[in-house]
Amino acid sequence: MIFRRARMSDVDSMAALINSYAQKGLMLHRTVPSLYQRIRDYTIIEKDGLIIGVGGLHILWKDLAEICSVAIHSQYINNGLGLALVDKLLQESRELGTEKVFTLTYQPGFFEKCGFMRIDKESLPQKVWTECVNCPKFPNCDEVALIKKAI
């Protein structure tokens, strides 16, 4: 298995993986154009030429980043790949110098295993007023917010 930065040629597979979970209500849908626009945010896990995992690190402010769209192909769940991917994204955040990393998720238990702690979404105004306002679920977001110190 290879962990690497996403490429333009990965976007269709990334969208298929992320949106397979979104269709089940387990994460938010991502459009193909939004993935192209943020391609530099994403890391993928590749095995035998297939994308089996994806996750993003999106910078919101000088001291704040978001881990988003973490998805592992169903055949590879429960073998540590999700934890390894989040660790890789946290390491990237540390290298960039962000102090805190948060996530909005329907899977809070997974992120708690990664050392994140629950917080109120209202404590993330950079996210709410720059991105959440464009979400179809705004202002009735039912995701759980969690945060972790990166440094």
* CATH code of the domain containing 44: 3.40.630.30
Q: What does the pLDDT average to over 72-91?
A: 96
Q: Give the model's pLDDT for residue 37.
A: 96
- Calpha distance 104→107 (Å, rounded): 9
> Which SS3 state, helix, strand or coil, does residue 71 take?
strand
150/81: higher pLDDT: 81
The reported pLDDT for the residue numbered 66 is 93
Mean pLDDT of the chain: 90
Distance CA(26)–CA(3), nearest Å, equals 23
Give the range of the structural domain holding residue 9, as residue numbers without chain letter: 2-149
Pairing of strands 117-119, 100-105: unpaired
- Structure pTM? 0.89
Question: What percent of the chain has pLDDT above 70?
Answer: 89
Q: Which residues 6+ apart lie within 8 Å of 149 measured at CB?
A: 99, 100, 101
pLDDT given for residue 123 in this prediction: 81
Is the separation of the CB atoms in 11 and 18 below 8 Å?
no
For the cut 70, the answer to whether the pLDDT of residue 141 exceeds it is: no
Q: How many domains does the chain have?
A: 1
